[in-house]
Structure 1
Amino acid sequence: MNIGKYTITIAELWGFFVGMKLAVEMSIPYLVVESDSSCAIHFLQSAVVENHMEASLVRSIKELMTRPHRVVIRHVFREANQCADALAKHGQIIEKGIR
């Protein structure tokens, strides 16, 4: 999906949100989420900072994370996440919205 021009961290958070929503809709009981964004992972593993511009998005993701029986979030290096990197680059050239 193309969300427009935002920071990499916000793009990662939107990826978490869309992925978690899909996992909940599919009733996936155990989920491992990998990201190369240590900043986005930090937001999800810490208390929500209310004055952060994406606090509501982080709260929504945390709410979705309570629905599967277990969610594990792991940091991976960009080199180990080539598929996600290629999809992110492709998302920059498509029209805005979910495809």
Structure 2
Amino acid sequence: MKLNTDGASSRNLRLARGGVVIRDEEGNWVIGYARKIGSANSFLAVLWALWDGLFLCLQAQIHAVIIEMDAKAIVDAFSHQKNSNSIIFSLMDDCRQLVSQIPQSRFRHVYRKANRCADCLAKLCTSLDADFTVFSNPPVDVFPFVEANCHGLYVNRLCLEPMFAV
């Protein structure tokens, strides 16, 4: 399975939101969500989205997952576990605990264009009434990106760095 997560924060209103997509090995939609996080910077928004995505993987009993994010700083933080920031330590520690419960997991940094589904869900959240919305099928705004991925038309511009296993 593949887990894509993204978070965003509005500079003016400081309203953070997150998006998560889980897809199978063929790129087909399994589940996704959009969530309003509240007042937070974009780094924390991305971490909350990661936490939610990992929790969703555990609920779905996913035992092998590639976690793709366009937030290089967070991918690096998981590869260098000794480096930590006391402000985000507890949330990072919670994410590490969730990852440790998934038997096979790897983090991979991807460019933003390869993370469009999760990015679109995070942005879509601002127009939703509910604070947390689960999608068993892709929303209309996200559907073109999912279809492109399934047909091999997506932008697969991966970063040339090694993947980090946790």
Smaller-chain TM-score range? Answer: 0.7 to 0.9
CA distance in 2, matches of 1:98, 1:13: 16
Residue 84 of structure 2, aligned match among 43, 49, 69: 49
Q: Which residues of structure 1 form unaligned runs of 5+?
A: none
Equivalent of residue 57 in structure 2, options 23, 26, 36: 23
Report runs of 4+ in structure 1 exceeding 6 Å deviation: none
Alignment gaps of 5+ in structure 2:
1-34, 134-166
Which of structures 1 and 2 has the larger relative contact order (alpha carbons within 8 angstroms, sep 6+)?
1
Larger radius of gyration: 2
The structure richer in helix per residue is 1
Change (3 A) 1:70 1:57: same
- Normalising by structure 1, what TM-score? 0.86
Aligned residue-pair number: 98
Q: What is the correspondence of 1:20-99 to structure 2 with a 5 Å cutoff?
A: 20-45=54-79, 46-47=81-82, 49=84, 51=86, 53-94=87-128, 97-99=131-133
TM-score, scaled to structure 2: 0.54
Q: CA offsets per residue over residues 33-57 of structure 1, 9 Å max, x none?
A: 1000011212222225252x12111
The structure whose residues are more often strand, as a share, is 2
